[in-house]
Amino acid sequence: MSRILVIDDEAALRDLIELVLRRENYEVQTAENGSAGLLALESFRPDLVVLDLMLPDCSGYDLCREITKRQAVPIIMLSAKNEIIDKVLGLELGAEDYMTKPFDNRELLARIKVVLRRAQSNDPKPGEEETRITHEDLTFNLDTRVVQKGGAPVALTAKEFRILETLLKRPDKIFTRDELLEIVWGYDFMGDSRSVDMTIMRLRKKLEDDAENPKYIRTVYGFGYQLGGGPP
């Protein structure tokens, strides 16, 4: 049973979303503000967060950034704002999806299922593979979703986590942008390959000593990306 955390200050909407999700047999916990949401994040350990951008005690964007620092959990943002810049900012901060209010509950449920299916398709199956991958001074724990560099934890968003996981599992392969787009964002994603480049750029800033001369994620010009250390 997947666990979903709903953070929204509108009690009526929060209760409605909880009812819809429980009918689908999801385990649900709700929070009315950012502070309560962060406490629930640590105790509930959700598989997905539904996050409203307009909260009484903080910006939803700031909360999204803080959540992705703490856990590699997918986030669906809710907002009354429908400007493209608001959507882009939310997605760049690590959200998996963005919905504008008002919305149909069936659409929210469908998007939740897609995001969960995408996330779970990357989870290791028991006994099929090692739960820990190492590469140079990087340690990648598939169970806890914790990445460490030289023993220090590195906070990654869900998409950054999955890109790094994909590269680490196939160090010999050069992944095209379209391949990474389908693996990480899904075949139904409406954006383009620039989303891959932007996510790689942010990932390099977090991992590399020199993001301009990366050693962990290298660009193979004309093809795509590969884990550093592969053939030139």
Predicted confidence at residue 127, as pLDDT, reads 47
The domain spans of the chain are: 3-120, 132-227
Q: Domain 132-227's class?
A: mainly alpha
Which residue is it, tokens 């979303």? Answer: 17
Q: Read off the pLDDT of residues 43-75 as tens digits, 9 standing for 90 and up.
A: 999 999 999 988 999 988 899 988 987 887 899
Q: Are 214 and 145 in contact (CB under 8 A)?
A: no
Amino acid, single-letter form, for residue 31: A
What is the second-level CATH architecture of the domain 3-120?
A: 3-Layer(aba) Sandwich (3.40)
Q: Structure tokens of 204? A: 């390099």
Average pLDDT for the chain: 85
Predicted confidence at residue 189, as pLDDT, reads 56
Q: Which of 104-108, 116-120, 191-195 has the highest mean pLDDT?
A: 104-108
Q: What value does the mean pLDDT take over residues 76-82?
A: 86
Predicted confidence at residue 187, as pLDDT, reads 54
Predicted confidence at residue 33, as pLDDT, reads 96
How many Å apart are CA 37 and CA 63, to the nearest integer? 9
Check if 3-120 and 132-227 are the same fold.
no
Q: Read off the pLDDT of residues 167-192 as tens digits, 9 standing for 90 and up.
A: 988 888 999 988 888 888 775 555 56
Predicted confidence at residue 230, as pLDDT, reads 42
Flag the least confident range among 65-69, 75-79, 142-146, 221-225: 142-146
What is the DSSP track for 7-41?
E-S-HHHHHHHHHHHHHTT-EEEEESSHHHHHHHH
The CA–CA distances, whole Å, from 228 to 21, 137, 204, 209 equal 42, 12, 12, 13
Q: Does 126 have pLDDT greater than 50?
A: no
